[in-house]
Amino acid sequence: MTTEAWTASYDYPIGDNFCPPQDLAYTYIYIPVLYFIAFFIGFTGNLFVIVLMAKKRGSKRLVDTFVLNLAVADLVFVCTLPLWAMSAAHGNKWHFGEGLCKFSSYIISVNRCSSILFLMGMSVERYLVVMKRVDSKSIGTKNCMIIACGCIWAVSLFLGIPSLIHRKLSPMQDTTGELCEDEDSITFQVLSLVLLILTFLLPLGVILFCYCSISFKLLNHVSLRKGTKNSLHIIFTIIGAFVGCWLPFNAFKAFLFFSSVFQEAVLSCSALMVLRWGLTISVCLAFLNSCINPIIYALMDRHFRRQVLPQRFWVCGASQETRQNTVLSFSSATESSLMFASRNKPSSPTSIWPEM
């Protein structure tokens, strides 16, 4: 199944049995609230990341470009959340026409694909820099950035086409409205499973290999700069958040797929209810992922915080940090791999904060 299979898809056939729809209590309240919160945080946070990265002075690394494109993908996705919030608030009825149904689902599919591929690109870039001692500037040329990002977007746009084709409006059982849902065909289900392997499991395997290798080196070599380690910690957290948000949804969908294919494995109606409720919660969790990254940056990257918070919140502590960490700050600001640090040298010895 694709990542945009919604909680409105109730009657999963298992064998010859159908279970009547039974929602979790108050989903028409908490799901719209969660979606609108994710929209406001995701729109504001990702827009700020885009502006901050676009304004950054000095040479940009490939990982910086991946961060920028990841924010763009999340920003486009969160703009569709108000539509799904309104739908959830009205019992999953879709009031915006089949065109927006298909396009919104396509955006979500492209977002899921591009996000995991950009995260994989960040992992490979960090692996080459840390493990192979490849100069980040040599793989951060303009041509390299264009080719890498162009390929990821092209693959993501292509792999989202099945969602664009197979999404449709179908009448609700009570005929009071229409649902935006996937076609119920074995061909589409098989295709969705293949896409799950190609756009989740395989990239996840690459990511795990890269970061297991990097983690092993971090544990055995303490010569890496503090800024490099902090950058890796941020990327670890971003990838962990993505996997934590999307893995439950993909697991539920895969289980439902195999249950429907192997029809001799008939599930009880109560078991189906648990699966549907789990799918409801996992969809919400997956959608929230697109507003998490700016929060991670704000919590873990001091350079990002200094751009977000008004100057009066950190200027008072600057003198003490200057006295204690002037040398470290110079090193981190100019030579480290911090996600949002500028590679420019400070203009004066008294200015330890890099210009963005």
Domain spans, the chain: 27-311
At 116 the pLDDT is: 92
At 85 the pLDDT is: 93
Residue 301 and residue 342 in contact, taking contact as beta carbons nearer than 8 Å: no
Structure tokens at 347: 């203009």
Intervals of the chain under pLDDT 70:
1-23, 58-59, 135-140, 174-175, 221-229, 231, 261-267, 308-356
Domain 27-311 indexed as CATH 3.60.15.10: no
pTM over 0.85: no
For residue 11, give the nearest of 170, 161, 165, 163 by alpha carbon: 170
At 339 the pLDDT is: 58
At 225 the pLDDT is: 60
At 18 the pLDDT is: 57
For residue 121, give the nearest of 139, 141, 142 by alpha carbon: 139
Residue 276 and residue 7 in contact, taking contact as beta carbons nearer than 8 Å: yes
| Cα Rg, the chain, nearest whole Å | 23
Residue 119 and residue 211 in contact, taking contact as beta carbons nearer than 8 Å: no
At 39 the pLDDT is: 95
At 159 the pLDDT is: 93
What SS3 state is found at 133? coil
At 22 the pLDDT is: 66
- CA distances (Å), origin 231, targets 10, 53, 234, 336: 43, 15, 5, 8
Task: List helix spans (H) across the chain.
Answer: 27-55, 62-78, 81-89, 97-130, 142-159, 161-166, 186-196, 202-220, 226-261, 269-288, 292-300, 302-308, 312-315, 318-335
